[in-house]
Amino acid sequence: MTDPAGRYDALPTWSRGVPDGPPVQLRQPRIVPTPATGGRVEVRAGERLDHLAARVLADPYAWWQLADANPGVGVDDLDRAGRLLRLPRPGSR
**Per-residue model confidence as pLDDT tens digits over 4-43:** 667 677 777 888 888 888 888 887 776 766 666 789 999 9
Q: What is the number of structural domains in the chain?
A: 1
The CATH number of whichever domain residue 56 belongs to comes to: 3.10.350
45: in domain: yes
Q: Which has more pLDDT, 45 or 79?
A: 45
Q: Supply the DSSP string of 20-66, one letter for each residue.
A: TSPPEEEEPPPPPPPP-EEEEEEPPTT--HHHHHHHHHS-GGGHHHH
29: in domain: no
Distance CA 47, CA 20 (A): 47
47: in domain: yes
Tens-place pLDDT, residues 56-70: 999 998 888 888 888
The pLDDT of residue 1:
54
Provide the residue range defining the domain that includes 56.
35-88
44: in domain: yes
20 Cβ contact partners less than 8 Å away, ≥ 6 residues apart: none
